[in-house]
Amino acid sequence: MLRIPVSLRARPVILAFLALSFLLDLLSATPSRADDFETSVAKLNDQSFTVKEEAVLELVQSGDDRALAILSALQDGELFSHKKQNNVIVFSQEIDGAPHAIDVLTAADLGEHGKRDLKKITINNKLRGALKAALGALRLYSKDPDTRIAAAKAVLANPSPEALPLVVEAIEKEQDDAVREALDMAQAALLLTNGDAEERLAAVGMLSGSMDPDVWQVLGRAAGQEADADLAAAAQAALASIENQKSVYNLLETLFFGVSLGAVLLLAAVGLAITFGVMGVINMAHGEMLMLGAYTTFVVQQLMPNAIEYSLFVAVPAAFIVTGLVGIAIERSIIRLLYGRPLETLLATFGISLFLQQAVRSIFSPLNQPVTTPDWMSGFYAVNGALSLTYNRLYIIVFCILVFLALLAVLKRTPLGLQMRAVTQNRAMASSMGIRTGRVDALTFGLGSGIAGIGGVALSQLTNVGPNLGQAYIVDSFMVVVFGGVGNLWGTLVGALTLGVANKFMEPWTGAVVAKILVLVFIILFIQRRPRGLFALKGRAVES
């Protein structure tokens, strides 16, 4: 990383801010004792602005954690002296709808106060300037690296010349690489606006490639400068390369959206990959298994209204059990009688789906039910200015991977999985080897349904939970399974991801609905080319 020479301290621009240099010297001095801090705070209430300024400097010098909050409040006009309590310096804070005075030193609640009880501590312009510098310095020297980075970014966003010496000083002292990097950027931004030609060019070099929107603004301003053609050109070039990088990140973002859509599709379809893919049962009630999973989430949240944060951890096993049992009941009562008759199975399970929809309508209501999203699922993780990943999508992807791996483990590593594969490959042989095929059928269908229920829990976080939830996903689910190749879990995975990503990449060009239509048309055509999907088994066994 390019370092800017520190010899800049002697420059005339800086000389105008000797007061700040003084401040810097103060900063490097040893912190004073606690009772000095109290005295300094009390001085803030002095009539004289000079004394107040002295107090501000003392507070900065103190190195005390409380200084930042106090000085911020002072700057914002939210610091008061309490007339009825010996003019103690306080914040005012609303507690239970009434204003309470809070001692700035002890953070003790001094009780409710009337409007007239507090006197605002005033500041003038000179003091305001000192405060601003002091606060910037305090933050740059904070013990918390995140605060230091935030302070550096604040400077970058609004590069005012007086901050330069502070930043330069801070860079020298900084030990943390991340913070130093942020400080370097801030320094470059400052130099780009205030340095000489050479420094400006160097600063452009430093800033180019950054993914911070504030940097783009700084560079944009530089690029617009007519006076210095070289600088403008360099800034233009930097911006162009940033644009390139931005488009890469946009691509990554689209990919992320696509993968998360693929994860949703996979969660919706993976249960079907078992019931249809492995068992060959055309389960048109699969969508309703998703729906039941989503409703289970709703019921769980109703039962534990005070622990919504944890509700999903309860809902996942609950949904698995509920839909799994419903699946077993359906298999034993109806589907069992229809093996070998796929079209009849399709119709019967469709009947079941109508039944379940109406049951949910009758028990709950025809309306959508409110399912709460826990706080930890909201918000996003910003990789940089061009790319941020929302937590709910991230969690869906992670959850999807976990579910998929768990399913693979069940199929490959458990006795049930072994029996399942045995029964689906050669029922008669499995039966003659003592496997209770009926029981395996029921458990397999239960597993597929249970997994669908888990998918429903995930969907409840993304879409409306209502009686029609299943209808919206049934076609998609079948498309994914058929596209990926029946009987092949990895095919389902690849199918879901491909369709999700393809959908999201088309959306900017075509709009969401047309993208979806195109994907459907693509699959219809694809099935013509490869009737057995992406990962098809071939050979004589398949034909029969």
DSSP string, 366-405: SSPBP-PPPGGGSSEEEEETTEEEEHHHHHHHHHHHHHHH
Instruction: By CB under 8 A, tell whether 274 contacts other proteins.
Output: no
CB 75, min distance to other proteins, A: 53
Q: What distance in Å separates the CA atoms of residue 469 and residue 459, rounded to the nearest whole number?
A: 9
Q: With respect to other proteins, which residue has the nearer C-beta, 87 or 358? A: 358
CB 476, min distance to other proteins, A: 9
CB 493, min distance to other proteins, A: 19
Binding to other proteins by CB under 8 A, coded x per residue (else -) over 280-299, reads --x-x---------------
Q: With respect to other proteins, which residue has the nearer C-beta, 30 or 528? A: 528
CB contact at 8 A, 199 and 191: yes
CB 310, min distance to other proteins, A: 35
User: Residue 85 is which amino acid?
Assistant: Q
Which of 358, 365, 426, 432 binds other proteins (CB under 8 A)? It is 358
Q: What distance in Å separates the CA atoms of residue 261 and residue 490, rounded to the nearest whole number?
A: 17
Q: What distance in Å separates the CA atoms of residue 328 and residue 428, rounded to the nearest whole number?
A: 22
Q: With respect to other proteins, which residue has the nearer C-beta, 10 or 513? A: 513
Residue 540 Cα distances to 454, 532, 537, 543, angstroms:
36, 14, 10, 5
Instruction: By CB under 8 A, tell whether 480 contacts other proteins.
Output: no
Q: What distance in Å separates the CA atoms of residue 489 and residue 410, rounded to the nearest whole number?
A: 12
Which of 28, 362, 365, 384 binds other proteins (CB under 8 A)? It is 362
| Residue 396 CB neighbour total at 10 angstroms | 23
How far from the centroid of its chain's Cα atoms is residue 7's Cα? 42
What three-state secondary structure class fits 77?
A: coil
Q: What distance in Å separates the CA atoms of residue 522 and residue 519, rounded to the nearest whole number?
A: 5
**Size of interface with other proteins, in residues (CB under 8 A):** 48
Burial class (CB in 10 A: 0-12, 13-18, 19+), 518: middle
Q: With respect to other proteins, which residue has the nearer C-beta, 72 or 468? A: 468
Half-sphere exposure of 301 (CA within 13 A, CB side): 19
| Spatial CA neighbour of 368 closest among 471, 268, 463 | 463
Instruction: By CB under 8 A, tell whether 367 contacts other proteins.
Output: no
Q: With respect to other proteins, which residue has the nearer C-beta, 195 or 500? A: 500
Which of 478, 487, 498, 535 binds other proteins (CB under 8 A)? It is 478
Binding to other proteins by CB under 8 A, coded x per residue (else -) over 433-472, reads --------------------------------------x-
**Interacting stretch for other proteins, rule CB under 8 A, among 306-314, 455-463, 474-482, 499-507?**
474-482
CB 309, min distance to other proteins, A: 36
Binders of other proteins among residues 311 to 350 (CB under 8 A) are 334, 337-338, 341-348, 350
CB 498, min distance to other proteins, A: 16
Token representation of residue 88: 């103690």
Q: With respect to other proteins, which residue has the nearer C-beta, 6 or 517? A: 517
Q: With respect to other proteins, which residue has the nearer C-beta, 57 or 284? A: 284
Q: With respect to other proteins, which residue has the nearer C-beta, 185 or 356? A: 356
Residues in the chain, total: 544
| Spatial CA neighbour of 401 closest among 337, 485, 496 | 496
Q: What distance in Å separates the CA atoms of residue 172 and residue 371, rounded to the nearest whole number?
A: 52
CB 510, min distance to other proteins, A: 11
Buried/exposed code over 46-64 (b: 16+ C-beta within 10 A; e: otherwise) = eeeeeebbbbbbbbbbbbb
Largest CA distance in the chain: 100
Instruction: By CB under 8 A, tell whether 352 contacts other proteins.
Output: yes
Q: With respect to other proteins, which residue has the nearer C-beta, 239 or 282? A: 282
Instruction: By CB under 8 A, tell whether 537 contacts other proteins.
Output: yes
Q: With respect to other proteins, which residue has the nearer C-beta, 132 or 361? A: 361
DSSP element (H, E) containing 54: helix 49-62
Which of 115, 116, 143, 538 binds other proteins (CB under 8 A)? It is 538
Binders of other proteins among residues 496 to 535 (CB under 8 A) are 513-514, 516-517, 520-521, 523-525, 527-529, 531
Which of 220, 351, 379, 438 binds other proteins (CB under 8 A)? It is 351
* Interface residues toward other proteins, by CB under 8 A: 282, 284, 334, 337-338, 341-348, 350-359, 361-362, 471, 474-475, 478-479, 482, 513-514, 516-517, 520-521, 523-525, 527-529, 531, 537-540
